[in-house]
Amino acid sequence: MIPYRDSIPCQYTPWVTWSLVIVNFALFLLQWFLPEAMQVHLLYFYGLVPARYASPEWAAWVGLPPNDYAPLITHMFLHGGWLHVMLNMWMLWIFGDNVEDRMGSLRFIVFYLVCGLAAAGAQIYANPNAAVPVVGASGALAGVMGAYFFMYPYARIVIWVFFLPLFVQVPAIAFLGVWVIIQLYKATNGLAGNEPYADVAWWGHLGGFIVGVLLHRLFLLQERGPPPGFDLSQSKSS
């Protein structure tokens, strides 16, 4: 199942959300058309390799500058495949515009990057010896979803059931709550199995979500409330 749309209208044009979607797709297209060797180079030098910071000697030995912290930001704008970038950008399209609506463009981009940095820190802490690059906007997106979770818990999310012409509506608190449970299960399951998160940065997702929950109120503009006529009894707002 995948979310199709939500029920919250926007009062302002979400310029940053649209720009992030365009930039991420543009960078992925550039990455896609590079020779394979250059793609690998790009992912290792600009993706987040936790061992690069946890083991500086190893990083220097393999040729990764250990004091280069740009990947903490640049990894958010790289993706590992078409499905990866499309899912991330679709989720950002659904949830990002409403969060930006309440924060304003400047505060929203700062919030987005802060959540992405927190996600990177959580993943490095959880799996410091990982030598595989972590890429994607998922950590920053998780922070946006955390903000949405508390701003509009009773908004209606329209879900498309795969392979069926079936659309169902669920409260945002249910959809995002299940998402969090899945991330937590996957993260702790990897910990118990001593195979920490080789496929997806689960702890990064959780870190971004938690920081989004904790910090989103600090970024809200007081003069921007919920959309006029919006039924607060159906969607409580921060």
56-99 pLDDT, tens digit each: 899 989 899 878 999 999 999 999 999 999 999 999 999 999 99
Q: Order across the sheet with 2-6: list the strands.
A: 2-6, 156-161, 166-171
Asked if 224 and 236 count as a contact pair (C-beta separation under 8 A), the reply is no
Model confidence band, residue 238 (pLDDT cutoffs 50, 70, 90):
very low
Work out the average pLDDT over 112-132: 94
CA dist., res. 3 & res. 137, Å (int): 17
Domain 2-219 has CATH 1.20.1540.10: yes
Residues in Cβ contact with 146 at an 8 Å cutoff, skipping those fewer than 6 apart: 115, 208, 209, 210, 211, 212, 213, 216
Which pair of tokens denotes residue 40? 């690998």
| Helices and strands counted in the chain (H then E) | 10, 3
Asked if 3 and 159 count as a contact pair (C-beta separation under 8 A), the reply is yes
CA distances to 69, 123, 153, 186 from 197, rounded to whole Å, are 22, 9, 29, 8
Per-residue pLDDT for 164 more than 80? no
Determine how many CB atoms are found less than 10 A away from the CB of residue 161: 12
pLDDT score at 231: 56
In the predicted model, what is the mean pLDDT of the chain?
89
Helices (DSSP H) in 33-154: which residue ranges?
36-46, 50-54, 56-62, 71-74, 82-103, 105-126, 138-151
Per-residue pLDDT for 143 more than 70? yes
- What's the one-letter identity of residue 109? I
pLDDT score at 181: 93
**Distance in angstroms between the alpha carbons of the first and the last residue of the chain:** 28
Who has greater pLDDT, 223 or 104?
104
Who has greater pLDDT, 7 or 144?
144
Work out the average pLDDT over 17-23: 98
Is this model's pTM higher than 0.85 or not? yes
Per-residue pLDDT for 33 more than 90? yes
Per-residue pLDDT for 223 more than 80? yes
Instruction: Give the CA angle between residues 19, 23, 27 to the nearest 5°.
Output: 175
pLDDT score at 190: 60
Work out the average pLDDT over 2-18: 91
